[in-house]
């Protein structure tokens, strides 16, 4: 970019790219007066200027040659050098060369007109009028006196001005057409310089609605203008010029109209683009004014941006480096003079090697000018860490210290005060680059989207420094900035921290910083920072400026010193204190300063609004009302302002505003002409967009109707009635109309209309020919359709019947009778007929018909052959099905019997009798037979038959061999079985003499138990002795106190006891559970000691 004094004409030359980018507006298109003219040297070139401009007329145009009478026709266009790397487009109108002697033929430079189609940037889809929606136009121009013109044949009526054309066009304008084919009406926001004034929005050749006095029209005038449709239908225009802090014009104007035939680059057609910039000097106007004819102007740049934007206003900086010029000293190792020739080395070793970027060129990293496009460029600085650590290492100069400083004494002279104390305004535009912008490097980048402060935070990549006083290398204070970890940091306090901390949404996008600094009463420094065109400071507060030392070298490299005040760019991160330091890359678009504290003035930009549909809109009122939805697209160049939208319609109609309020639906209930207007306000200014709506009466189109089924339809009357459902499908091309359906009566039939009435059921009770008709009505026209129906007698189809089981069936008569269930399955293809089923009598059998009658149970009581028949009847015909049944005598199978226990069994007769229960289990494979069980008598034993008789108890009273027998009979066969039982005499009775309590041990408890049995209470357990025979210790066959004494003597006095058989039991022989002959044991024993 060029210098930043774009609003201060005396401060130097500038480009629109700088103007827009610095002041928070990136223009959609900028032509900067640079480069050779495209098409020059080609008569009547279709492509012009930078290749994006087209011819704006079809005859007597630029001849494509440069200026000078010796080159082609008089006048024309050319690029001129303004010095300091800047250039401009010069346009000289010499009147009508056809009037010269000899005259000049076409192309003759009579019409020096070119247009730039804004669709190049906005796309073909953007067809709205920029002058309505909002547009910002910027240009820099000066007028030339006669000395700049070729000799001409008539006096110049104003050597330093240029009149409007009669159509209201000036030499510089932006136009938007309304709509329609080529050569349609265009509205133009146009400007010219005439009679010492900047004029705009022409009302005549030398008059205008915008009149701004200029001190000297031959000096550069920078113009920033915004335009948008106002609520009144006029256009609100604001104009800033040069170093104005507020608009020099603000008001509503009526834009003049004209026609254009802007040519496409291939010259195949004429058309008026929807929006275009135009440069046009064409003053030979129909001979109506003989003073018309000539003039000359220089255009440094011209650009536009969709939307209205307002600038930050520059104070006119003392110095700006704008990243445009080639690096002075590039290619010369360790060049003392750098950048634009006004910067010096900031270190004495390991500096920039003077080469460009790329490992193939010098040491890794370095500095270079990069092209940003659109005529803009920037300084790129890439720090690759410490190249001395590479293998092989890079020697001095190694690009380890990419540092340069600009001494402010260049502009301020012998000014030795500290600007950081007295006040300074410090402005720059920068962005951080990710790893893709770096050469390959040898260590990881700690943060590819940031750059840390140097040690202690005293220096960042961009800073302003002031030294206190004293010799070279003295202590300096720095107002330093860096971007780290998504934030703009300033006044560093460490590697990654700063007292100024401002979040950024995207560090790889351009960030514009405006900072002011001055000493505060506290001894700290008051710093205020604005970013990216904001009107509110992003930071304001007192900070302690970090300190550092610098050895800024003179251009001849003879001495090192620290300047009193200086700008600095320094990427020098190889700091031994932190091994993660090392690399990063930044672009600097510009850096400026001005002595003193200057606050940017923010001027409100008008918001932008566009309606969709934009209109005109035509609606048809085909019902009670018709609605149209509108969407307002709104924007505001000013960040942070809240936008509100209000809707209105004239004449009155119903508006339903949506959520958000940028949506609204307008409902019209009457035909007429309407204007729907949406107004957006940012709290300071408002702008409206209007869509015209025409509501017309609905031209009726008759509805349509179709029946399903469409007919002819044939029905069979197979029951009392036959029915058919009809569905009417209705449509209407007319939107919003209500359709009504009606069904006609059908003679001899009943019509039942459904809900909705688009369906109906027609019921017929007699044969015949019928017509079913339905009609649809849209309120204007009725349309009918008919379906023919034939109702005929039902042709009978016999029913069907089957019996399950179908037979033959075989049954066995194993009892008095045997039965079989039969099920009849019936069907009839004829719909609506009632079927009845009848079962025929079966001789010799009984039939029980079920409910329903399709089932029956047939019972047979004699053997024989039988036929079971069922008949189905549909009222017309009957059909019979028969199943054959054979009933045979039951073949007998003998029953089975078994006795449990099965034996052989053995018992001892130790009492008067011994008994055993026996159970007979019987079975018979023949169904229906009754089984009878009989138990045989057993000699010498008693048989007690149970109930049921399948069990019996047999009691034996004498030893011997016995057979227990039982038989079973089924009435035909008898089967018997027997169990053998041996009853033996008892071999002995087990008795434990003296063990009265049956504990299987002898002790005093047994004596106590005998006493308890004799004398104890009824609750004493020994009252019911377990074995009285064991209590009889003296074989007396009774239990008395003598038995207790005999036991005590045995236990404690070496006495003895007598067993039941009279034998003596002594302590030596010992007692125990012994067998004794049954006759000798006379006392009972409920519990045997053997158990």
Residue 436 has pLDDT above 70, yes or no: no
Number of domains in the chain: 7
Residue 547: per-residue pLDDT: 86
pLDDT digits 0-9 by tens, 614-666? 999 999 887 789 999 999 999 876 656 789 999 999 988 999 999 999 999 99
SS3 state at 724: strand
Residue 182 has pLDDT above 50, yes or no: no
d(CA 919, CA 930): 18
Q: Which residue has the higher pLDDT, 910 or 422?
A: 422
pLDDT digits 0-9 by tens, 198-211? 989 888 778 888 99
In a domain, 872, yes or no: yes
Boundary (domain end) residue, out of 306, 338, 366: 306
Residue with tokens 């119903």: 654
Task: With cut-offs at 50, 70 and 90, classify the pLDDT of residue 246.
Answer: low
Residue 349: per-residue pLDDT: 74
Residue 236: per-residue pLDDT: 93
Chain-centre distance for alpha carbon 691: 34
pLDDT digits 0-9 by tens, 551-599? 555 544 555 566 777 877 787 765 544 555 567 888 998 898 988 888 8
Residue with tokens 């029951």: 719
Residue 942: per-residue pLDDT: 93
Which of 12-21, 144-153, 187-196 has maximum average pLDDT?
A: 187-196
Residue with tokens 């007998």: 892
Which of 86-100, 172-186, 265-279, 931-945 has maximum average pLDDT?
A: 931-945
Q: Which residue has the higher pLDDT, 591 or 111?
A: 591
- Find the CATH number of the domain harbouring 947: 2.60.40.1080
Angle at 771 between CA 768 and CA 777, to 5 degrees: 165
Which of 300-314, 355-369, 482-496, 596-610 has maximum average pLDDT?
A: 482-496
pLDDT digits 0-9 by tens, 688-710? 999 999 999 877 889 999 999 99
Q: What predicted TM-score, i.e. pTM, was given to this entire model?
A: 0.40
Which of 129-133, 266-270, 547-551 has maximum average pLDDT?
A: 129-133
Task: With cut-offs at 50, 70 and 90, classify the pLDDT of residue 12.
Answer: very low
Indicate the average pLDDT of the chain.
82
Task: With cut-offs at 50, 70 and 90, classify the pLDDT of residue 943.
Answer: very high
Helix, strand, coil abundance in the chain, percent, nearest 5: 5, 45, 50
Sign of CA dihedral 813, 818, 821, 822: positive
- On whether both 579 and 680 belong to a single domain, the answer is no
The answer to which of 41-45, 170-174, 404-408, 537-541 has the lowest mean pLDDT is: 41-45
- On whether both 162 and 298 belong to a single domain, the answer is yes
- On whether both 190 and 263 belong to a single domain, the answer is yes
Residue 375: per-residue pLDDT: 57
Domain range for 176 is: 9-32+111-306
The answer to which of 161-175, 774-788, 870-884, 1002-1016 has the lowest mean pLDDT is: 161-175
Task: With cut-offs at 50, 70 and 90, classify the pLDDT of residue 175.
Answer: confident
In a domain, 594, yes or no: no
Residue 1057: per-residue pLDDT: 93
- On whether both 219 and 338 belong to a single domain, the answer is no
In a domain, 541, yes or no: no
pLDDT digits 0-9 by tens, 1024-1061? 899 998 899 999 999 999 998 998 999 988 899 999 98
Which of 436-440, 553-557, 584-588, 909-913 has maximum average pLDDT?
A: 584-588
In a domain, 190, yes or no: yes
**DSSP annotation string for 820-841:** EEEEEEEE-SSTTPPPEEEE--
In a domain, 13, yes or no: yes
d(CA 892, CA 851): 36
d(CA 131, CA 138): 14
d(CA 76, CA 122): 30
Which stretch of DSSP H or E encloses residue 645?
strand 644-650
- On whether both 457 and 561 belong to a single domain, the answer is yes
Residue 424: per-residue pLDDT: 93
- On whether both 1021 and 880 belong to a single domain, the answer is no
- Burial of 1091 per CB tally in 10 Å (0-12, 13-18, 19+): exposed
- On whether both 1017 and 1047 belong to a single domain, the answer is yes
Residue 975: per-residue pLDDT: 92
Residue 613: per-residue pLDDT: 94
Boundary (domain end) residue, out of 274, 306, 338: 306
- On whether both 324 and 396 belong to a single domain, the answer is yes
**DSSP annotation string for 735-794:** TTPPPEEEE---TTEEEEE-SSTTEEEEEE-S-EEEEEEEEEE-SS-EEEEEEEEEEEEP
SS3 state at 421: helix
Cβ atoms 407, 563 nearer than 8 A:
yes
Residue 169: per-residue pLDDT: 79
Q: What is the mean pLDDT of residues 285-300?
A: 65
- On whether both 155 and 282 belong to a single domain, the answer is yes
Residue 244: per-residue pLDDT: 61
pLDDT digits 0-9 by tens, 713-769? 999 887 889 999 999 999 988 777 789 999 999 999 999 999 999 999 999 999 999
Q: What is the mean pLDDT of residues 18-37?
A: 65
In a domain, 523, yes or no: no
Residue 183 has pLDDT above 50, yes or no: no
The answer to which of 291-305, 753-767, 911-925 has the lowest mean pLDDT is: 291-305
Q: What is the mean pLDDT of residues 438-449?
A: 58
In a domain, 219, yes or no: yes
Phi and psi, residue 877, nearest 5°: -130, 155
Q: Which residue has the higher pLDDT, 45 or 182?
A: 45
In a domain, 371, yes or no: yes
Q: What is the mean pLDDT of residues 381-393?
A: 79
Number of separate helices (H) and strands (E) present in the chain: 8, 74
Residue 800 has pLDDT above 80, yes or no: yes
- On whether both 116 and 236 belong to a single domain, the answer is yes
Q: Which residue has the higher pLDDT, 394 or 224?
A: 224
The angle, 0 to 180 degrees and rounded to 10, between the axes of the packed helices 1004-1015 and 1041-1052 is 170
Residue 766: per-residue pLDDT: 92
The answer to whether the bond into 994 is cis (omega within 30° of 0) is no
Boundary (domain end) residue, out of 935, 958, 985: 985
**Beta partners for 772?**
787
Residue 161: per-residue pLDDT: 80
Residue 308: per-residue pLDDT: 80
- On whether both 454 and 336 belong to a single domain, the answer is yes
The three-state DSSP-derived secondary structure of 570-595 is: EECCCCCCCCCCCEEEEEEEEEEEEE
Residue 416: per-residue pLDDT: 77
Chain-centre distance for alpha carbon 565: 54
Q: Which residue has the higher pLDDT, 461 or 58?
A: 461
Residue 605 has pLDDT above 70, yes or no: no
- Find the CATH number of the domain harbouring 620: 2.60.40.10
Task: With cut-offs at 50, 70 and 90, classify the pLDDT of residue 902.
Answer: confident
- On whether both 914 and 835 belong to a single domain, the answer is no
Residue 286 has pLDDT above 70, yes or no: no
E-state strands within 7-134: 29-31, 47-48, 53-55, 76-83, 86-94, 112-117
């Amino acid at each position: 970019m060029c210098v930043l004094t774009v609003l201060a004409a005396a401060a130097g030359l500038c480009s629109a790219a700088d103007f827009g980018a610095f002041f928070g507006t990136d223009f959609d298109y900028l032509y900067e007066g640079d480069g050779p003219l495209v098409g020059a040297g080609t008569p009547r070139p279709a492509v012009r200027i930078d290749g994006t401009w087209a011819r704006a007329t079809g005859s007597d145009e630029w001849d494509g040659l440069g200026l000078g009478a010796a080159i082609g026709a008089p006048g024309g266009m050319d690029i001129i050098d303004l010095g300091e790397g800047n250039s401009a487009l010069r346009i000289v109108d010499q009147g009508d060369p056809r009037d010269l002697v000899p005259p000049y033929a076409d192309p003759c430079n009579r019409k020096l007109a070119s247009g730039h189609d804004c669709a190049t940037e906005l796309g073909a889809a953007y067809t709205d009028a920029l002058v309505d929606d909002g547009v910002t136009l910027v240009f820099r121009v000066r007028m030339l006196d006669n000395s700049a013109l070729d000799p001409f044949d008539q006096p110049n009526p104003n050597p330093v001005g240029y009149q409007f054309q009669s159509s209201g066009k000036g030499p510089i304008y932006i136009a938007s057409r309304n709509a329609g084919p080529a050569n349609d009406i265009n509205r133009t926001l146009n400007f010219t310089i005439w009679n010492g004034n900047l004029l705009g929005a022409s009302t005549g050749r030398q008059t205008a609605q915008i009149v701004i006095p200029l001190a000297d029209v031959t000096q550069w005038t920078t113009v920033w203008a915004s335009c948008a449709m106002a609520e009144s239908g006029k256009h609100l225009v604001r104009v800033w010029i040069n170093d104005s802090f507020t608009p020099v014009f603000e008001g509503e104007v009526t834009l003049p109209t004209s026609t254009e035939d802007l040519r496409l680059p291939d010259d195949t057609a004429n058309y008026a683009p929807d929006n275009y910039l135009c440069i046009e000097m064409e003053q030979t106007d129909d001979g109506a004014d003989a003073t018309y004819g000539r003039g000359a102007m220089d255009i440094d740049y011209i650009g536009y941006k969709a939307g209205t934007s307002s600038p930050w206003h520059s104070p006119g900086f003392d110095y700006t480096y704008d990243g445009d010029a080639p690096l002075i000293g590039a290619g010369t190792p360790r060049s003392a003079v750098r950048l634009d020739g006004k910067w010096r080395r900031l270190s004495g070793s390991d500096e920039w090697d003077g080469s460009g970027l790329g490992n193939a060129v010098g040491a890794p990293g370095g500095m270079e000018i990069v092209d940003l496009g659109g005529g803009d460029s920037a300084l790129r600085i890439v720090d690759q860490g410490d190249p001395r650590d590479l293998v092989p290492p890079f020697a001095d100069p190694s690009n380890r210290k990419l540092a340069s400083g600009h001494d402010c004494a260049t502009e301020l002279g012998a000014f030795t005060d500290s600007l950081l104390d007295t006040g300074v305004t410090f402005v720059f535009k920068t962005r951080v680059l990710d790893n893709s912008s770096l050469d390959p490097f040898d260590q990881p980048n700690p943060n590819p989207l940031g750059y840390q402060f140097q040690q202690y935070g005293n220096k960042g990549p961009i800073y302003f420094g002031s030294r206190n006083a004293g010799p070279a290398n003295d202590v300096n204070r720095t107002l330093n900035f860096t971007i780290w970890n998504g934030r703009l940091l300033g006044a560093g306090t460490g590697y990654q921290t700063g007292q100024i901390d401002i979040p950024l949404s995207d560090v790889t996008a351009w960030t514009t910083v405006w900072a002011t600094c001055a000493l505060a009463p506290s001894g700290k420094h008051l710093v205020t920072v604005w970013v990216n065109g904001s009107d509110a400071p992003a930071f304001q507060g007192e900070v302690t400026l970090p300190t550092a030392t610098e050895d800024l070298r003179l251009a001849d490299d003879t001495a090192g010193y620290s300047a009193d005040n200086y700008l600095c760019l320094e990427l020098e991160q190889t700091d031994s204190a932190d091994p993660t330091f090392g690399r990063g890359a930044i672009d600097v678009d510009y850096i400026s300063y001005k002595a003193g504290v200057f606050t940017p003035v923010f001027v409100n930009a008008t918001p932008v609004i566009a309606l969709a549909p934009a209109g005109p809109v035509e609606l048809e009122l085909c019902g009670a009302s018709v609605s149209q939805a509108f969407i307002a697209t709104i924007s505001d160049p000013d960040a942070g302002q809240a936008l509100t939208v209000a809707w209105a319609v004239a004449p009155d109609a119903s508006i339903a505003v949506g959520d958000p309020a940028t949506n609204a639906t307008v409902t019209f209930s009457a035909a007429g002409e309407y204007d729907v207007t949406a107004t957006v306000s940012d709290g300071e200014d408002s702008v409206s967009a209007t869509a015209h709506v025409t509501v017309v009466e609905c031209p009726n189109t008759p509805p349509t109707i179709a029946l399903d089924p469409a007919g002819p339809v044939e029905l069979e009357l197979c029951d009392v009635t036959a029915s058919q459902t009809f569905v009417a499908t209705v449509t209407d091309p007319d939107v919003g109309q209500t359709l009504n359906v009606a069904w006609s009566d059908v003679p001899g039939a009943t019509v039942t209309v459904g809900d909705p009435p688009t369906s109906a059921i027609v019921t017929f009770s007699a044969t015949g020919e019928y017509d079913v008709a339905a009609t649809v009505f849209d309120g204007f026209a009725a349309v009918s359709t008919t379906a023919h129906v034939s109702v005929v007698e039902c042709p009978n189809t016999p029913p069907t019947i089957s019996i399950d089981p179908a037979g033959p069936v075989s049954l066995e008569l194993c009892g008095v009778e045997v039965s079989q269930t039969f099920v009849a399955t019936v069907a009839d293809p004829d719909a609506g007929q009632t079927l009845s089923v009848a079962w025929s009598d079966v001789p010799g059998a009984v039939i029980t018909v079920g409910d329903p009658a399709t089932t029956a149970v047939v019972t047979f009581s004699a053997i024989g052959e039988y036929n079971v028949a069922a008949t189905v009847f549909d009222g017309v015909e009957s059909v019979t099905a028969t199943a054959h049944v054979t009933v045979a005598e039951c073949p007998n199978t003998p029953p089975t019997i078994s006795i449990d226990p099965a034996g052989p069994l053995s018992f001892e007769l130790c009492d008067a009798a011994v008994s055993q229960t026996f159970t007979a289990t019987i079975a018979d494979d023949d169904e229906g037979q009754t089984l009878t069980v009989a138990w045989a008598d057993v000699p010498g034993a008693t048989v007690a038959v149970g109930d049921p008789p399948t069990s019996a108890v047999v009691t034996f009273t004498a030893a011997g061999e016995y057979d227990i027998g039982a038989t079973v009979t089924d009435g035909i066969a008898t089967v018997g079985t027997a169990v053998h039982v041996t009853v033996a005499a008892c071999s002995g009775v087990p008795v434990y003499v003296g063990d009265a309590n049956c504990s299987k041990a002898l002790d005093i408890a047994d004596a106590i138990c005998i006493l308890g049995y004799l004398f104890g209470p009824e609750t004493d357990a020994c009252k019911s002795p377990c074995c009285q025979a064991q209590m009889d210790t003296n074989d007396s066959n009774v239990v008395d106190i003598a038995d207790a004494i005999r036991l005590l003597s045995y236990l404690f006095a070496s006495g003895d006891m007598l067993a039941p058989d009279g034998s003596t039991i002594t302590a030596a022989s010992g007692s125990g559970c012994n067998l004794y002959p049954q006759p000798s044991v006379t006392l009972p024993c409920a519990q045997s000691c053997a158990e």
